[in-house]
Chains A and B, each alone.
Chain A
Amino acid sequence: MSNTISIRKGLNIRLVGEATKEIKEVPVSGIFGVSPLDFHGLTPKMAVKEGDTVLVGDVLFFDKKKETIKFVSPVSGSVKQIVRGEKRKIISVLVESDGKQEAKGFSIKPMKDQTAEDVKNLLLESGFWSSMKQRPLDIIADPSNNAKGLFVSSFDSAPLAPDYEFILKDEMEVLQIGFDALSVMMEGKVHLSSKPNSNFSKIQGVIHHSFDGLHPAGNVGTQMHHIDPVNKGEFVWSINIQEVAEIGKFLTSGSINSSRKMALTGSEVTTTTYLNVTRGSQIKPLVKNAVDATNVRYISGNVLTGDKKELTDYIGHYHNQITVIPEGNEYKFFLTSGWLGHGFDKFSNSRLFPTFLLPKSKKFRLDTNTNGEERAFVVSGELERVFPFDILPVQLTKAAITNDIDGMENLGIYEVAPEDFALCEYVCTTKINIQEKIRQGLDLIASECM
């Protein structure tokens, strides 16, 4: 095991509402949704019609450009509706569960006979491939590329993030099988990054790395940058560690288990907990009896990178937590809680607020107010303090805003994903939507350079 890499440039946003370590089962019933919008840049092509009967693992739609990438049903039942938006764009595919969770059977050769091609095909057929992301571009990995490495992070350092040591404590064996399969498939190396003294260091057949320090230490992008950064023309892949365990389960059982453990977190949740839910679940049953307040925001994912959801929406594909925080849609008088207030209720990385005086154990209840209006970039040196990359965040963002392709290439756009800039966006005095700008930059690169 290599030396621990300590991330000093970053920020742990201390929020109220960490999940207590109990697991609550959520029964499979009602309507489940799979949304193509969870996968950036995807053009879906439907494989089913409304009214079709499906099993767990039956293909609902596939990628129109790369038809081998498939998206499967998380439940057994019937396709209730294909929700379309403007220009008949597919918003989501709703499947009504029959409650039985009958799964499609896959024939799987014993592990020792599997070739790289076999494993890849199995992952593509079973829909697991949709969880494999690539950089550059931060989209679903293109299976026809050769990646120089596969990166897995065994911890999430985002605010209120789930603890994978807890989630996977009884699943070490399947996790090992999952990693074995990925090692067979990968031509490049398989990297596993953990906290120091982690249980995951027992996993064999991977290259271990150790990270600690401030968020974004647990982000796979940070880890890639410090282990083996992406250069132009190279590809790296990454996958969530819970998916690796599910791949292990799938390879042993031959059928897909679409349940995932998620953390139900946030200051507005009265009973925070871990939930054992089925993929594509509606938000409403998950937060039943757990949220009293009404003026709240439901977030699928964490507060930095998650998606805003309504109660009737469905949890996002890449998310492992639900966060509920208060909405900030009210005026705040400038002297009491506004811009000139004492600020003991605000969490700030700047010394303009007294956050730095408060003990580290103090946790905050933050709302969605932007605490100010958007302006042009004025302050300098502020984003760099929370950005542990050898990349200039302001300059790269400006290149993205001005559609400067050469500038973006030179400044490192191939290495980054919008989520790497989430903390920059949080601390930005001038309230610029940096993640959105980076995504637009990546879209431009995707259309012009890839």
Chain B
Amino acid sequence: MEPHFIKGGKYEKWNPLFETLATFAFTPKLVTNKGTHIRDGVDLKRTMFTVVIALIPCLIFGIYNTGHWEMAVVEGNRDLPYFSEMLSKFLMGLAIVLPVVVVSYGVGLTIEFIFGMLRGHSLHEGFLVSGMLIPLTMPADVPLWMVGLATAFAVIIGKEIFGGTGMNVVNIALTARAFLFFAYPTSMSGDKVWMSGLGEKMNTNAADLDGFSGATALGDLASFMSDKATVAGEAVQSNLAVQSFSNEYGAWEAFMGMIPGSIGETSTMACLIGALLLVFTGVGSLRIILSFFIGGFVMGLLLNLVGGNPYLDLPAYYHLIIGGFAFGAVFMATDPVTASQTATGKIIYGFFGGFLAIMIRVLNPAYPEGVFLAILFMNVMAPIIDHYVVQANINRRLKRLKTI
């Protein structure tokens, strides 16, 4: 079959597609011709596939959690027991999440193939991961066309115009998320988007849903900064706000992820399982993940020190387990292409990523999800951090010359 696709063959134009499928099924018979005669077994396909595996706990949990809140909406009961009717919740979740995943991969891979054919190279593996990350950062109620649009924007503007996998400046999945956040803010924030079907149901059937709120932990927290503090839609006294908040979102529930939020981000536990795999295999940088958490915690403590309103008084550890903080730390900040590449740089990059994430989240309630903005910002700053680390190495070598 191969002769039809190589240069001069009948389907020469389709070679990238053929090559992609062939190299997916078979490691190609390429042999070393220069330099080392043997090569390590590892390649980018296996590396990227490992990240996808690491995302599976988040995906499975996300499907269940989405199903749970969908059912809560259907029954109009926010206090629905979490571990009941598990199969039907899972299936309900699957019906929501699977189309999002399919759209993300479908749109992204199509665009990558088109670019691959224009440039005459086979599909590069980067999108295997991005295609899974994008759905997991989406709110449950996101319209599918938005997922497709955001994916297209992220792949074309975020990656392909820079030259493809390995050349992008900012994280692809976060580019998609940021695009939707700024282009369609009403579909990406507020109370109604986090539980599937809630917006629609509220419009048609408001009476049934009296007193039902789709608020997320972050949404509630943002209200603490205003005059009217609310927890799960109900007004609370500001002196009781923190306590009422931790009743609604217990630390354990928040850690396990049994709260409303984006599809894959709610469970810190699932993220940490993924982190274990990434750090153990060396695919994800422990330096970045740890310093990201430390950075966030330090900012949380600083805010506690300032104090004065319920949000600032929220215990620092809470910041690490609500919203997309853990998901961002483990899967977004560690993207090796857009993170710092030097060992020292990774620590600085991670620390400020976490630090800024909490700063934006708390001090600018218009952007309750500060994590993705902070990581995007640090993506842009990473080359500068690296520049100074490299400069330090250069200076050390110059100093060596002077001391001799």
Contact = CB atoms under 8 A, between A and B. Distances in A.
A binds B: yes
6 contacts: A338-B27, A371-B27, A380-B341, A381-B346, A426-B40, A435-B35
B4 interface: no
B27 A381 contact: no
B390 A395 contact: yes
A370 B30 contact: yes
Contacts of A210: none
Contacts of A42: none
Interface string A337-357: 111100100111111110100
Contacts of B283: 352, 379
A297 B34 contact: no
Interface string B192-224: 000000000000000000000000000000000
A410 interface: yes
A86 interface: no
B46 interface: yes
Contacts of A375: 44, 124-125, 165-166
A370 B31 contact: yes
Interface in A434-449: 434-436
B31 A429 contact: no
Q: Which 8 A-B pairs have the closest CB atoms?
A: A372-B43, A376-B166, A346-B41, A338-B27, A331-B26, A435-B35, A380-B341, A332-B27
Interface in B23-48: 23-47
Contacts of B404: 231
Contacts of A351: 280-282
A327 interface: yes
A368 B50 contact: no
Given A371-B27, A378-B336, A380-B346, 6 more contacts: A349-B42, A370-B39, A373-B122, A375-B165, A380-B341, A390-B393
B25 A371 contact: no
Nearest to A426: B36
Most A Cβ at <10 Å: residue of B41, B285, B393: B41
Contacts of B126: 378
B164 interface: yes
Contact of B38 (A13, A384, A436): A13
A376 B37 CA distance: 20
B401 A232 contact: yes
Contact of A378 (B26, B165, B346): B165
Nearest to A301: B37
B40 A340 contact: no
B34 A433 contact: yes
A370 B32 contact: yes
Given A381-B285, A390-B393, A332 B37 contact: no
Contact of B339 (A329, A380, A384): A380
Contacts of B42: 348-350, 352-353, 371-372, 427, 429
A100 interface: no
B397 interface: yes
Interface string A297-317: 101000111101000000000
A403 B28 CA distance: 31
A436 B34 contact: yes
A395 B43 CA distance: 21
Contact of A340 (B30, B46, B341): B46
Contacts of B41: 343, 346-348, 350, 353, 355, 371
A366 interface: yes
A352 B47 contact: yes
A116 interface: no
B38 A394 contact: no
Nearest to B401: A231
A394 to B, nearest CB: 6
B119 interface: no
Nearest to A353: B41
A251 interface: no
B7 interface: no
B106 interface: no
Given A303-B36, A327-B31, A378-B166, A334 B44 contact: no
A333 B26 contact: yes
Interface size class of B (residues with CB under 8 A): 35 or more
Contact of A411 (B31, B282, B393): B393
Contacts of A308: 33, 37
Contacts of B394: 410-411
B341 A381 contact: yes
Contacts of A346: 40-41
A351 B47 CA distance: 10
Interface string B128-156: 00000000000000000000000000000
A141 interface: no
Nearest to A299: B37
B32 A368 contact: yes
Interface string A67-110: 00000000000000000000000000000000000000000000
Interface in B154-186: 163-167
A305 B23 CA distance: 28
Interface of B: 23-47, 49-50, 122, 124-126, 163-167, 280-283, 285, 336-337, 339-343, 346, 386, 390, 393-394, 396-397, 400-401, 404
Nearest to A384: B343
A430 B32 contact: no
B46 A352 contact: yes
A411 B393 CA distance: 8
A433 B37 CA distance: 11
Given A327-B31, A368-B31, A376-B167, A297 B37 contact: yes
A366 B30 contact: no
A429 B390 contact: no
Contacts of B164: 376
Task: Find the residue from A308, A330, A370 having the highest chain B CB count within 10 A.
Answer: A370
A426 B401 contact: no
A420 B393 CA distance: 18
Nearest to A148: B404
Contacts of B397: 231, 390, 410, 412
Interface in A274-305: 297, 299, 303-305
Contacts of B285: 380-381
A436 B25 CA distance: 30
A119 interface: no
A300 to B, nearest CB: 11
A352 B281 contact: yes
B28 A331 contact: yes
Contacts of B124: 375
A325 interface: yes
A333 B163 contact: no
Nearest to A427: B40
Contact of B396 (A305, A367, A384, A390): A390
A232 B47 CA distance: 39
Contacts of A368: 31-32, 37-38
A269 B31 CA distance: 20
A93 to B, nearest CB: 24
A350 B282 contact: yes
A305 B36 contact: yes
Contact of B39 (A411, A426, A435): A426
A334 B26 contact: yes
A46 to B, nearest CB: 28
A422 interface: yes
A229 interface: yes
